[in-house]
Structure 1
Amino acid sequence: MPVSAYPPRAPARPVPVRDRRPAGRRWQPVIVVFAFLLAAGIAIFATVQRPSATAGMLTGDEPAEQPPVSSSALPASSASASASPAPNASPSAPVLSLPGPVPAQGRGSFAYDERPGEVLGRAGVLRRFRVAVENGSGEDVDTFGDAVQRALAGPGSWVDSGELRLQRVAPNSRYDFTIYLATRDTAGQLCLGGGVDIRIGGVPYTSCRVPGKVVVNLDRWRTSVPHLVAAKLPLDTYRLYVVNHEVGHQLGHGHERCPGPGKPAPVMQQQTLFLDGCRPNPWPYVDGRRYAGPSV
């Protein structure tokens, strides 16, 4: 086959067919697609940016109501801190009695509050006392020392007479008496050793004072007594009473009776055993005056 002397021609380009439609009709599909995309974008943007009802409440004046949290979902420390200390207490009700078993016996030895306290009272003879808690009782000596301090500071305590001052001292300091918190068996032994039998039904039940010793029974300190729990007396108020009652014995005061139905009970009435129609009262001074009942 003969070879051509001329190079092959490049294939011819196709000639574009010119769109004969008017310009406005040619842009219609583009406008429709653009409008669709714009509408979709606005809808997505609105969905992302619109705050929820909960968010509006959290940032507004009124706080959002939070769903309750189960105590089992809390850390152990948080759950125990928020738990009610007594089965008869609600978040707004006072503690009347502490739950759980109370040790009947301790080690028979005592830890002492080593912190000297301020002098309580404005004038009069100064009586110094120590504070001790039996080892093995499960109670903290500083916490008990603070409770004793509140009871004896008043207002309403024995120092309101203006003729007496009281001061907690360190264990190695000179002192006039000691206030003990002891398990029931140890309390029974301390009281019986001073000639006072605090047993009821064969079990050491009340607290006592013997020379130089104010003995608070741990059973009563933790659980109060049934008739005062039934009367809705807060445990803290009973504790004020038992300290002031037994210290009153140490200061030379004897038992007193209820002065009349509906009246406050004298602090030297045996409120741990009965009220006899009186209302519970932890203070020897009421409205700035010594409050007493008939002597037993």
Structure 2
Amino acid sequence: MPTATRPRRAAGRSAPARPAGRRRPVIVVLAFLAAAGASVAVAVQRPSAGAEVLVSDGSAGQPSGPSSAPPTPSASPSPSLSPSPEPTTPAPVLALPGPVPAHGAGSFAYDDRPGAVLGRAGAVRRFRVAVENGSGEEVHAFGDTVQRALAGPGSWVDGGGVRLQRVAPGARYDFTVYLATRDTAGRLCRRGGIDIRKGGVPYTSCRVPGKVVINLDRWRTSAPHLVAAGLPLETYRLYVINHEVGHQLGHHHEGCPAAGRPAPVMQQQTLFLGGCRPNPWPYLNGRRYSGPPTWKP
């Protein structure tokens, strides 16, 4: 029998293709290796500890590792670069607004607080303080201003020839300082022989024996030329008290000694300055300050 021979493969015929599913493990392995390689590359290119890392939005990220630098404190609002406004001093009050009562009850409330003796030497002159009922003014506030005017420094007690003391009602006294509406002030002054009218209206203050009478109109509004000069109302009040108490202590009117100089306290500053500057004190720099006499006996 002839020997059986294995048939040859036809020339040019390729080996039968393997099923497609058998190549997937190789593709998965290659993909895994590619991803691992990318991770390795990223790990190699990562900066050293403490360096900033740029994140996707372009802002600075946190350091990649521990750093020796101290921790950054929590953010706080940055101070404004605009300068702080300078504190402003309020403008002085030159006159009080609103209507002033032309007349009151005609009766008075008295400061019930006895005060300390003002001055170091001389006879003691005792005084009361009174405010007309219906004037709208408070008697203790008026009493405080009277006390400040007569205590100085610069008041009549600085000369060492007289001392002054406020007393309560019922105590012995030498004179009374009244704050009165213009109608009552005009009546009190007229009884003592002094006409305080200007343009037919009681205008100034006065002193009659035992009575220092302060006109409420002037107490609240000063005088136009003094307001124009910028004189604070508080300073005018010191002046009018020292002026009228000066009359009670025996002093008479004086004139301006020279233009530009302080006005003597006994000058009628409520009516004119005569070129002088307003001044509420009889003593300046510890010395009695006066001008030429204008009073004739």
Residue-by-residue CA offset, 1:26-64 (whole Å, 9 max, x unaligned): 5789xx9xxxxx868x8899xxx654xxx2117xxx887
Instruction: Give a deviation string over 1:121-179, Cα, whole Å, max 9, x none.
Output: 00110011111111221211111111111110111111011011001111121111111
Query: Within 5 Å, which residues of 2 pair with 1:249-260?
Result: 249-260=247-258
Q: C-alpha deviations, 1:185-227, integer Å up to 9, x for none?
A: 1111111122211111111100011111111111111111011
For 2:257, the aligned partner's letter is: P
Is 1:23 matched up with 2:21? no
Rg comparison, structure with higher value: 2
Q: What is the identity, as a one-letter code, of the residue corresponding to 2:290?
A: A
* Cα offset, 1:280, TM superposition: 1.5
Percentage identity across paired residues of the two chains: 70
Note the C-alpha offset of 1:107.
1.7
Separation in structure 2 between the aligned mates of residue 136 and residue 270 of structure 1, nearest angstrom: 28
| Residue 113 (structure 1) aligns with | 111
Pairing 1:128-207 to 2, within 5 Å after superposition: 128-207=126-205
The alignment's TM-score, normalised by the length of structure 1, stands at: 0.73
- Following TM superposition, by how much is the alpha carbon of 1:22 offset from its aligned partner in structure 2, in angstroms? 3.6
Inter-CA distance 50–183: structure 2 relative to 1 (3 Å threshold): same
Q: Secondary structure at the match of 2:127?
A: strand
SS at match of 2:79: helix
Q: Which residue of structure 2 lines up, in the alignment, with residue 57 of structure 1?
A: 79
Counterpart Cα distance in 1 of 2:105 and 2:32:
106
Range with bigger deviation, 118-127 or 285-294 = 285-294
Question: Which structure features the higher share of helix residues?
Answer: 1
| RMSD (Å) for aligned C-alpha atoms | 3.1
Q: 1:210 aligns with which of 208, 211, 216?
A: 208
CA contact (8 A) 1:57 1:64 kept: no
* Matched residues, number: 246
Give the whole-Å Cα distance in 2 for the aligned partners of 1:122 and 1:271: 29
Per the alignment, residue 50 of structure 2 pairs with none
- The unaligned stretches of length 5 or more in structure 2 are 1-23, 43-54, 63-73
Q: 1:262 offset after TM fit, Å?
A: 2.3
